[in-house]
Amino acid sequence: MSNEVAYKTRHGLLGAAVLALSFAVMGVSAMPTTAAAATLDDKKNPFTLVYENAITKNEPGKLNIHPVNYELNGLKIVANVYTPANYDPKKKYAAIVVAHPNGGVKEQTAGLHAQRLAELGYITIAMDAAYQGGSGGEPRSTDKPQFRIEDIHGAADFITHYPGVDAERLGLLGICGGGGYSLSAAKSDKRFKAVATLSMFNSGRVRRNGFADSQLNTIQQRLKQATDARAQEKAGGKILYAGDANMTDEQIAALPFEMYRQGYEYYWRTHAHPGSTFKYTSSSLLDLMRWDATDQIELIEQPLLMIAGSKADSLYMTEEAFAKASGAKDKELFKIEGATHIETYWVDNYVNATIGKLTSFYARTL
């Protein structure tokens, strides 16, 4: 998300100026909830997974999880590989790379979808982005498109050499910000034979223009702030972070976009994980604000499936990208009826709808 309208914070997701405006326009109300969700504790799962029905132990003949690490451009990347029931490394399996949302880690919705896809017979990998989560890289919480895209290429490097993987049957699933970066990676990386996104979030557009293009008049000002942050950082000064602030429940409830209200609840309440943080270096905005997930998207010729909630206030990003993906002759936009952006991450009915659609898509294309 961003440091303008989408000011993702450890206890919130909006900048102070926008927050003040939302107070004036909307007033303050109780913290909204969309569906009952028990708070999940990473300490109660041996793999620190924080999603419903997560695997808790490896057993012969059943779906298993394998924590792995590998090097990418000198950095240690941590990931979880899921292998299907009755996995035999001497056989050949299609594989799927799953890229996590902005601020997320492999133990949240990326892990949930990787596990569900492994249940279908795929070998899957969910990795923490470089500079984020459990992966290496300094300064921490750097969030640059070129790094996130390279993460996806790196996951393909690793998983295509994993025992039992058929490198000619590699799929890609990107969730939220990971969806935007997946589109960018798939433009040139033709190892991916099928590309899917869930609740795609175009990080560059939102950080540049604000959510729903609501901050067009402050672009130059925010670019200057990001420039100053980089200059200070490179001079050895304090590293500045966007989204590093505290907000109360009442302030969160006043945010104008449902995605951010529910995002706070998901990331810091019901599905919190110590590796997940909303902050990112302010200097990252120099790279983010000049980037866009739809740039040259016509280079995607692989089959493309884009999934989003019909009630998601981020739906416009998926619809725009889908329309621009003119090179993909085999493409489909699937809307999950009644779902908001964050609800697609974890609500059973909506996750089942996603998996149902992915089942037929990957079966046909991989």
On whether the CB atoms of residues 32 and 261 are closer than 8 A, the answer is yes
Collect all residues with Cβ–Cβ distance below 8 Å to 302 and sequence separation of at least 6: 186, 190, 192, 193, 194, 195, 328, 365
On whether the CB atoms of residues 127 and 151 are closer than 8 A, the answer is yes
How many C-beta atoms surround the C-beta of residue 339 within 10 A?
Answer: 25
Please indicate, yes or no, if residue 269 is contained in any of the structural domains.
yes
Tokens describing residue 161: 């050499």
Please name which of 24, 357, 36 lies closest in space to residue 16, comparing C-alpha atoms: 24
> For the segment 217-256, what is each residue's pLDDT rounded down to a tens digit?
999 999 999 999 999 999 999 999 987 656 778 877 888 8
On whether the CB atoms of residues 105 and 134 are closer than 8 A, the answer is yes
Q: 237: alpha, beta or left, given left = phi > 0 and alpha = psi -120 to 50?
A: beta
On whether the CB atoms of residues 328 and 217 are closer than 8 A, the answer is no
Please indicate, yes or no, if residue 360 is contained in any of the structural domains.
yes
Please indicate, yes or no, if residue 209 is contained in any of the structural domains.
yes
**Rounded to an integer, what distance in angstroms lies between the CA atom of residue 233 and that of residue 111?**
33
Helical H runs in the chain? 16-26, 109-119, 145-159, 177-188, 203-209, 219-234, 249-253, 258-265, 285-288, 315-324, 343-346, 348-365
Q: What is the pTM of this model?
A: 0.90
Please indicate, yes or no, if residue 213 is contained in any of the structural domains.
yes
Neighbouring-strand partners of residue 81: 66, 125
Please indicate, yes or no, if residue 313 is contained in any of the structural domains.
yes
CATH number at residue 46: 3.40.50.1820
pLDDT of amino acid 33: 40
Please indicate, yes or no, if residue 185 is contained in any of the structural domains.
yes
Taking CA atoms, 298 is separated from 293, 317, 331, in Å, by: 11, 16, 12
Please indicate, yes or no, if residue 40 is contained in any of the structural domains.
yes
pLDDT of amino acid 25: 25
Please indicate, yes or no, if residue 104 is contained in any of the structural domains.
no
Three-state secondary structure string covering 217-269: HHHHHHHHHHHHHHHHHHCCCCCCEECCCCCCHHHHHCCCCHHHHHHHHHHHH
The whole domain housing 73 covers 16-99+109-154+165-365
Tokens describing residue 248: 């109360």
Total tally of structural domains belonging to the chain: 1
**Rounded to an integer, what distance in angstroms lies between the CA atom of residue 44 and that of residue 214?**
41
On whether the CB atoms of residues 147 and 140 are closer than 8 A, the answer is no
- Mean pLDDT for each consecutive 10-residue tract of the chain (366 residues)? 33 32 26 55 95 97 98 98 98 98 96 98 98 97 97 98 98 98 98 98 97 94 97 96 75 84 88 91 96 98 98 98 98 98 98 98 98
pLDDT of amino acid 250: 83
